């Protein structure tokens, strides 16, 4: 078995948990690939962790492809998994997310469950949870690489405190003009992120839907709108400024208001490893304190 480790500079208090991961992989005789920024950061803090370890270093998509891992273990929070999808893209590499961040809807393996979750991975006691993505094209021909998002695509104002107007078309038919600070197009995966903070619904991950969630709309009848993910959206921004921002997860691009964006479902999915200790309802209960009475 070949497993790639992915992450950024970890916090010092998370080093012992990275050591637990390494020890389990070594114990199972796994071939290990390590993302260079992660390796460099850990070596700087504690050189002996990689001193006598046999591993392959990868730096980009091509080197990850050459290593050809069976799984990728993400060491961080949900943002780390979003970064990992940029490397994986359409490659068939399932991600196991170990939460070393904060809330962790995607990276939902708690630090205390690392060993049991890895045991489940090694013995095949897991399921693959396939997540849909959004992809975007532009009318101006400007290329965004990568041009997909696992959580959401957001259109927002740039260098202005004034509202923007997002003229939105569904399969070529006029839908609405959103007068707001911006508009979020979210996947079911992203429904627990930015969209949720703006009043959007929580959507089960296996739902074939996207949700349009306005950001601070001027008209209070502009509510979040759930659509089937087979639809194509066309959007054009009207603004007092000549430019607006479009973000794909955490990657931000600037466009002129003449540019139209075409948003639709991507032609590939990302696979997340869900062990027998994990499921979406229990993640919601744990992360959002559902079923707990905090009134007293």
Which residues are annotated as catalytic? 78
Phi and psi of 50, rounded to 5°? -115, 5
Token digits of residue 197: 């903070």
Whose CA is closest to 50, among 95, 92, 5, 99? Answer: 5
Q: What is the 3-state secondary structure (H, E, C) of 240-277?
A: CCCEEEEEECCEEEEEECCCEEEEEECCCCEEEEEECC
Cα–Cα distance, 111 to 129 (Å, whole number): 21
Whose CA is closest to 247, among 141, 181, 145, 149? Answer: 149
Cα–Cα distance, 51 to 71 (Å, whole number): 23
Q: What number of other Cβ atoms are within 10 A of residue 236's Cβ?
A: 18
Cα–Cα distance, 252 to 139 (Å, whole number): 17
Scan for tokens 């479009």, then name that residue: 246
Run of H or E including 174: strand 173-180
């Amino acid at each position: 078995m070949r497993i790639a480790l992915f992450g950024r500079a970890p916090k010092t208090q998370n080093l012992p948990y990275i050591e637990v991961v390494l020890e389990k992989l070594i114990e199972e005789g796994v071939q290990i690939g390590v993302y260079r920024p992660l390796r460099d950061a850990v070596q700087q803090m504690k050189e002996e962790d990689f001193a006598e370890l046999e591993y392959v270093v990868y730096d980009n998509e091509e080197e990850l492809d050459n290593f050809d891992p069976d799984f990728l273990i993400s060491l961080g929070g949900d943002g780390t998994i979003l970064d990992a999808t940029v490397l994986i893209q359409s490659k068939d590499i399932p991600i196991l997310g170990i939460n070393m961040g904060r809330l962790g809807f995607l990276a939902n393996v708690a630090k205390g469950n690392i060993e049991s979750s890895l045991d489940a991975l090694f013995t095949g006691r897991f399921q693959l949870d396939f997540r849909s993505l959004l992809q975007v094209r532009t009318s101006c021909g400007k290329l965004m690489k990568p041009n997909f998002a696992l959580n959401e695509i957001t259109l927002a104002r740039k260098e202005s405190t004034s509202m923007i107007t997002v003229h939105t078309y569904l399969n070529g038919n006029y839908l609405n003009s959103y007068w707001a600070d911006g508009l979020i197009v979210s996947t079911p995966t992203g429904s627990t992120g930015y969209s949720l903070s703006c009043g959007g619904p929580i959507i089960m991950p296996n739902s074939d839907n996207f949700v349009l969630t306005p950001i601070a709309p001027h008209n209070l009848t502009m509510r979040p709108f759930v659509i089937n993910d087979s639809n194509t959206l066309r959007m054009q921004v009207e603004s007092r400024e000549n430019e607006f921002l479009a973000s794909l997860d955490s990657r931000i691009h600037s466009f002129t208001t003449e540019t139209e964006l075409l948003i639709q479902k991507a032609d590939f999915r990302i696979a997340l490893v869900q062990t027998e200790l994990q499921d979406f309802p229990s993640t919601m209960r744990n992360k959002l304190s559902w079923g707990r009475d905090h009134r007293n």
